[in-house]
Structure 1
Amino acid sequence: MADDIGVRRRIETGELNALNALNPYLQGLYEPVARETTALELPVIGKIPSDLHGAFLRNGPNPAVAPAGMHHWFDGDGMVHAVYFENGRAEYRNRWIRTADYVAERAGQDIGAGGVMLPSARARPDNRRGELVYKDTANTDLVFHNGSLMALWYIAGKPVRIDARTLETLGGESFGGALPRHVSAHGKVDPRTGEFCFFDYSLYEPWMTFGVVSADNRLTNFQKVELPGPRLPHDMGLTGNYIILHDLPVVFTDSGLRNSRWQIRIADQPARFGIVPRNGRGDQVRWFETDSCYIYHVINAWEDGDEVVMTACMMTPNGYPPNPGYGPYAAMVNVLALHAVPVEWRMNLRTGAVTKRQLDDRIGEFPVVNLDMTGVKTRWSYHVSMAPEELQRFDGLYKYDLGTGQAQTWRFSPGVGGSEPAFAPRIGATSEDDGYVIVFTTDPEGKSEVQVLAARDFEAGPIARIPLPVRVPAGFHGTWAPGDLMAAER
């Protein structure tokens, strides 16, 4: 679109060097936008329901300056895109997340750390924040807690507080100075207690941690869990009483550990799920072994009698060989071609048994549920459908029945890429799926819109489409922030 410089021109002007001209995750659907935008009067195709009140927000990478060296898609500065709904109207905003590293770089300082395709800066000049060996971007996840957002980073950085209404960065979050280390992406908020439960991990040391923050932002528990070696978990589960930690067989290579490089391998070992009382000690974790696998994203978890149940998207081989046409980015492209199916695990706390049930064979990821049902048994979840191609493009949405494994489908138009959706409960909702599914989409010409679907009439498609004045690049995770809770804190 007119506001963005095309990749060819960026190469001609020298803004994008020849090395990164081979990087598909800096082009097309993934090309970063150049500026922050506020649009208060948005057109609507159809009708925005009057009982939709709150904000749909999504995080993702958006380099503020064109990369000079090797660049992984995960390295970009975090940017939040948001649409706020009230009284049948909508507003759009996007803002960079002003992490400490973002602010320092924009001020011309050398932070002493780069991205994951470069050697990690294990001795970076400012390492007071712990083992922060890559640039901290807060670009991965968003969690609504205590009336505002926290932007989180998958390698585990410092949470960044953001105003959910204006997207103004409020500052780094240390829970009153009590946070000993970091917080990874994909912590969970218990809607019944308001507690934020999280985990953290060490890149090079054989342990991970978990913690609990109260509804009024006090760190009430923080525990270290010993492991057989360094691990790279990405998510966790949460039930009414337990946190579920992941010890999975994707680890650094010996060379990666020696040379401080992000080089990973699949180890010959089972997957383990560690169940621990959320207010328990690190030595109280009870491990359950199951078939070797990797999990990026949990759907939900709950307790059922003696069993702890966890549903998640389990990775399977994607079938794509590395494409030499992407040069040094071939391995990155191959790993990013997510190929996962929904699976249910049941761990019996009385017998120690683990059972596993694949719910469906359709390829999907980035699952979300009604956040009011986090930690309790859910029937419905909403996933993106993965396009059958090398690059990570979401070509539609699934609404899953987690009991039967059956799914309803909504496909975007050909060539369109979507985002992780969010479920927004209708004001006065009376059941789990009484509400709306909201998603960003971008077409091959760079035109973006927001689609609002009625969850109970999912396959009928959008009841409202909201064209946006700027392009929304592909990105990562989002959330729904209820309007009444946002208003209460402003």
Structure 2
Amino acid sequence: MADDAAIARRISTGPLTGLNTLNPYLQGLYKPVAVETTALDLPVIGEIPKDLHGAFVRNGPNPQHAPEGMHHWFDGDGMIHAVYFENGRAEYRNRYVATDDYRAERAGKAIGAGGVLMPSAAARPDSTRGDLVYKDTANTDLVFHNGSLMALWYIAGKPVRVDARTLETIGNEDFGGALPRHVSAHGKVDPRTGEFCFFDYSLTEPWMTYGVVSRDNVLTNFQRVELPGPRLPHDMGLTENYVILHDLPVVFTEGGLRNHMWQIKVADQPARFGVAPRNGRGDQIKWFETETCYIYHVANAWEDGDEVVMTACMMQPNGFPPNPAYGPYASMVNVLALNAVPVEWRMNMVTGEVKKRQLDDRIGEFPVINLDYTGRKSNWSYHVSMAPEELQRFNGLLKYDLTTGRAEAHRFADGVGGSEPAFAPRIGGTDEDDGYVVVFATAPDGTSEVQILDAKAFDKGPIARVPLPVRVPAGFHGTWAPGDQIAA
């Protein structure tokens, strides 16, 4: 052990074997790290603003053991990386999310569930899913609610509470025993009411659910919504009075369902957005049909007169043919090459009409906003820009004006891979973009840093850079936890 300023605990990863030597998402920018680290009073290039107070946290996959069978990037155990800012100083930590499956595997027990590229067994006896079960990693998303973080999983699993300052796992969250099923990634917190709004879906049954949890962690509403068939949604929208659910034409193939395999296709059917009263009944949902498309991530949603507005990143074909150099991973690599553009949909609750407006033709994804504007009209959204490469690499950031579609760009240095950023409101800030954009960036030589940009001078580059003691692999989603709200 080192001194208290830099504590590192080695974890059990190992060399790649077999088919995984062809898996690019276990190597280079995506290679898991082999230590859990705490580093206090980090060096700074430039000056960290003293009105920046809180934690920038990001989740992502980090297998605790070197995978032996076919491994999808999305299968890795959840690991959170965080930088905490206060009084112009910064601390770094990374910790695993201690899910039930993580703890069982760490203890050497079989969990009876594998990743999405492996055949899945029937539901475990202790499962409440009622459908197929994959390893629950809580590796996808983070939301800050009721003073701590919740780590969430994209196939819908058990939410895991995590201390936002120390990153130590608190335990599974079931809202006082009232949670009927599970929670998917990309739930939203209403900044005015403090409510956490979420959705869940079944892999094999024709329905999904949505729920509302109060500021004080009490489940106040839980509703079921019927669907024409099983669906694979990824995100949702939230406004002052509504949730927006996604019925999208990416579904399991018949062979995938029959063989218990994650085999999906794009069905010949429209996309549908379901607008349901947040505190009403599921059968009060109003559906809006639009062209066939898939949406991974929503930027924001709000109400404008009779219309419900949703801005999101709409996927388009990426144009890359599967590369045989990746062997059995060619299909995975092809699907992960994101190709999305920002789009606004307006759904008229009176006439049933839906209008679509593409805001820009630049390729980007992972949109974030000032979370104080969640569910209300917002003007700014911060996206990662995508390198025109086969592998998913974020080569910079885009600040969008959601009204005009104009964007300012910040590009990383050549070969650098970034992460989903977070917007950190300035202490005493007076308007929507009065604050900072913080982002992890990792260079080809394995060095990582956090960059801090002034949101009002976005195209001028970082005002401060914080070199980190360990590499931060490419990952998924993060958030900002305000310093004055982090539970002691």
* 1:183 is the counterpart of 2:183: yes
* 1:398 is the counterpart of 2:398: yes
State the one-letter code of the partner of 1:301: A
Q: Aligned with 2:458: secondary structure?
A: helix
Aligned to 1:322: 322
State the one-letter code of the partner of 1:441: A
- Given that residues 312 and 344 in structure 1 are in contact (C-alpha distance below 8 angstroms), is that contact kept between their aligned partners in structure 2? yes
Aligned to 2:294: 294
TM superposition shift of 1:120? 1.7
State the one-letter code of the partner of 2:61: P
Q: Aligned with 1:101: secondary structure?
A: helix
TM superposition shift of 1:280? 1.0
Q: Aligned with 1:108: secondary structure?
A: coil
TM superposition shift of 1:341? 0.1
Aligned to 2:227: 227
Q: Aligned with 1:345: secondary structure?
A: strand
Alignment of 1:345-360 (within 5 A): 345-360=345-360
Alignment of 1:107-118 (within 5 A): 107-118=107-118
In structure 2, what is the Cα distance between the partners aligned to 1:275 and 1:128? 27
Aligned to 1:450: 450
Alignment of 1:119-268 (within 5 A): 119-128=119-128, 130-131=130-131, 133-268=133-268
In structure 1, what is the Cα distance between the partners aligned to 2:132 and 2:470? 33
- Given that residues 123 and 130 in structure 2 are in contact (C-alpha distance below 8 angstroms), is that contact kept between their aligned partners in structure 1? no
TM superposition shift of 1:71? 0.2
Q: Aligned with 1:209: secondary structure?
A: strand
Q: Report the TM-score when normalising by structure 1.
A: 0.96
In structure 2, what is the Cα distance between the partners aligned to 1:125 and 1:176? 22
TM superposition shift of 1:18? 2.5
- Given that residues 85 and 91 in structure 1 are in contact (C-alpha distance below 8 angstroms), is that contact kept between their aligned partners in structure 2? yes
* 1:45 is the counterpart of 2:45: yes
TM superposition shift of 1:376? 0.4
Q: Aligned with 1:330: secondary structure?
A: helix
In structure 2, what is the Cα distance between the partners aligned to 1:374 and 1:101? 32
Aligned to 1:436: 436
* 1:276 is the counterpart of 2:276: yes
- Given that residues 79 and 139 in structure 2 are in contact (C-alpha distance below 8 angstroms), is that contact kept between their aligned partners in structure 1? yes
State the one-letter code of the partner of 2:220: T
- Given that residues 123 and 132 in structure 2 are in contact (C-alpha distance below 8 angstroms), is that contact kept between their aligned partners in structure 1? no
Q: Deviations over 1:42-76 (max 9, x none)?
A: 10000000000000000000000000100000000
Aligned to 2:311: 311
In structure 1, what is the Cα distance between the partners aligned to 2:96 and 2:266? 35
State the one-letter code of the partner of 2:120: S
Aligned to 1:361: 361
Q: Deviations over 1:157-211 (max 9, x none)?
A: 0000000000010000000000010000000000000000000000001000000
Q: Deviations over 1:358-403 (max 9, x none)?
A: 0000000000000000000110000000000000000000000000
State the one-letter code of the partner of 1:288: F
- Given that residues 132 and 157 in structure 1 are in contact (C-alpha distance below 8 angstroms), is that contact kept between their aligned partners in structure 2? no
Q: Aligned with 1:272: secondary structure?
A: strand
Alignment of 1:17-36 (within 5 A): 17-36=17-36
- Given that residues 129 and 202 in structure 2 are in contact (C-alpha distance below 8 angstroms), is that contact kept between their aligned partners in structure 1? no
State the one-letter code of the partner of 1:257: L
Q: Aligned with 2:388: secondary structure?
A: coil
- Given that residues 112 and 125 in structure 1 are in contact (C-alpha distance below 8 angstroms), is that contact kept between their aligned partners in structure 2? no
- Given that residues 111 and 126 in structure 1 are in contact (C-alpha distance below 8 angstroms), is that contact kept between their aligned partners in structure 2? no
Aligned to 2:4: none
State the one-letter code of the partner of 2:49: P
In structure 2, what is the Cα distance between the partners aligned to 1:100 and 1:289? 39
TM superposition shift of 1:4? 12
Provide structure 1 residue ranges, at least 5 long, that are not aligned to the other structure: none
State the one-letter code of the partner of 2:384: V
TM superposition shift of 1:131? 4.0
Q: Aligned with 2:318: secondary structure?
A: coil
State the one-letter code of the partner of 2:150: M
Q: Aligned with 2:331: secondary structure?
A: helix
Q: Deviations over 1:96-130 (max 9, x none)?
A: 00000000111111010010001122233432465
Aligned to 2:3: none
TM superposition shift of 1:95? 0.1
- Given that residues 162 and 170 in structure 1 are in contact (C-alpha distance below 8 angstroms), is that contact kept between their aligned partners in structure 2? yes
TM superposition shift of 1:41? 2.0
Aligned Cα root-mean-square deviation (Å): 1.3
* 1:333 is the counterpart of 2:333: yes
In structure 2, what is the Cα distance between the partners aligned to 1:170 and 1:402? 38
In structure 1, what is the Cα distance between the partners aligned to 2:228 and 2:251? 11
- Given that residues 370 and 423 in structure 2 are in contact (C-alpha distance below 8 angstroms), is that contact kept between their aligned partners in structure 1? yes
Cα distance change of structure 1 residues 20 and 103 upon mapping to structure 2, 3 Å threshold: same
In structure 2, what is the Cα distance between the partners aligned to 1:123 and 1:480? 35
In structure 1, what is the Cα distance between the partners aligned to 2:128 and 2:145? 26
TM superposition shift of 1:94? 0.1
TM superposition shift of 1:15? 3.1
In structure 1, what is the Cα distance between the partners aligned to 2:239 and 2:22? 44
State the one-letter code of the partner of 1:377: K
Alignment of 1:479-490 (within 5 A): 479-486=479-486, 489-490=487-488
TM superposition shift of 1:451? 0.1
- Given that residues 117 and 262 in structure 1 are in contact (C-alpha distance below 8 angstroms), is that contact kept between their aligned partners in structure 2? yes
Q: Aligned with 1:36: secondary structure?
A: strand
State the one-letter code of the partner of 2:69: G
In structure 2, what is the Cα distance between the partners aligned to 1:410 and 1:127? 45
Provide structure 2 residue ranges, at least 5 long, that are not aligned to the other structure: 1-7
In structure 2, what is the Cα distance between the partners aligned to 1:28 and 1:341? 27
Q: Aligned with 2:432: secondary structure?
A: coil
Q: Aligned with 2:35: secondary structure?
A: coil
In structure 2, what is the Cα distance between the partners aligned to 1:96 and 1:185? 17
Aligned to 2:416: 416
